[in-house]
Amino acid sequence: MRAVMLGLPGAGKGTQAERLAAHLGVVRISTGDIFRQAVRDQTPLGRQAQAYLERGELVPDEVTVGVVLERLQAPDCRAGFVLDGFPRNLTQARRLDEALAGLKQQVDAAIYLSVPEEVAVRRITGRRVCSRCGATYAADGVGPAASCPQCGGTLVQRPDDREEVVRQRLRVYENETRPLLEYYGARGVRVDVDGTGTVEEVFRALLSALRQRGLVGTAEAARRPGTSR
Ligand code: AMP
């Protein structure tokens, strides 16, 4: 399956994309993770992207589209993928469609995780990321832990999760990303999922919605989440 995730920053796209990709045995590609890693490593891409991330603005399309289309050519994408954080505007969506059409492929599902803005903001301001490996945690999920359960790195707030940057990211979402709901709706591939429950509840709802559209098998969708690949 080739899926893209849509929804406000803080809607749970990363978490659910990871679960879905593991369930389907395909790769999850997060443009935000790619850019953050590049910034940490101070590669040419990282130096180009850094100021945009810090301001909560979109990295220019010519940079982002190039990164994604190159990544999609890797052999591990042949079986499918879950894109998390891309596309973020109509230009990116059209470029993705063109590239896939050239391979006789298409986006099978545009999964929209809907949450009220106040829920998204609460999740964003609460989350912490590992400054070493980039893993993300809900603040209430790690309790008082100050270090990453996976690698021992220090947990910090993402610089762009500060309130003033979050406000800018929400503006960008409204102006640039929200129109994608209509774009994928018109193509008949939009799958709406209530994103307000627990991780488990949302994942079950997501699989159920995909099953209803025949995008995952019945037996597969009935398996308990997290127990399968
Ligand atoms: P995310 O982790 O998806 O919230 O992305 C963090 C930041 O990375 C965004 O605020 C943008 O600055 C940048 N970014 C991620 N994905 C894209 C994209 N598809 N287009 C442009 N910028 C992006």
Q: Provide DSSP, 120-165.
A: HHHHHHHEEEETTT--EEEHHHHTT--B-TTT-PBEE--GGGSHHH
> Which of helix, strand or coil describes residue 213?
coil
pLDDT band at 227 (very low <50, low <70, confident <90, very high): very low
Taking CA atoms only, the protein residue closest to ligand 1 atom 1 is 32
Q: In what order do the strands lie in the sheet with 27-30?
A: 27-30, 81-84, 2-6, 109-114, 190-194
Taking the model in full, what pTM does it have? 0.90
In this structure, the strands spanning 81-84 and 109-114 are unpaired
Segment 129-183, tens digit of pLDDT: 898 888 888 866 656 577 899 999 999 998 899 988 999 999 999 999 999 999 9
Segment 35-54, tens digit of pLDDT: 999 999 999 999 999 999 99
State the residue for tokens 């209530």: 194
| Cα–ligand 1 centroid distance for 35 (angstroms) | 8
Residue 127 annotated to the active site: yes
pLDDT higher than 70, residue 113: yes
Tell me the C-alpha to C-alpha distance, in Å, between residue 226 and each of 6, 27, 32, 199, 207.
Answer: 22, 15, 24, 11, 12
Catalytic residue among 28, 88, 95, 190: 88
Catalytic residue among 19, 123, 127, 190: 127
* Ligand 1 interacting residues, C-beta cut-off 6 A: 9, 31-32, 35, 52-53, 56-59, 64, 85-86, 88, 92, 160, 169
Rounded mean pLDDT of the chain?
A: 92
- Taking residues 96-109, what's their average pLDDT? 96
Segment 175-210, tens digit of pLDDT: 999 999 999 999 999 999 999 999 999 999 999 999
Task: Identify any residues that bridge with 193 across adjacent strands, giving them in sequence order.
Answer: 113
pLDDT greater at residue 224 or residue 189: 189
Cα 157 to Cα 179: distance, rounded to the nearest angstrom = 29
Residue 204 annotated to the active site: no
Residue 104 annotated to the active site: no
Cα 116 to Cα 195: distance, rounded to the nearest angstrom = 9
Residue 13 annotated to the active site: yes
Tell me the C-alpha to C-alpha distance, in Å, between residue 81 and each of 20, 74, 125, 132, 182.
Answer: 10, 11, 29, 25, 22
Nearest 5°: the CA angle 111, 13, 175 is 80
The alpha carbon of 136 is separated from its chain's Cα centroid by a whole number of angstroms, namely: 12
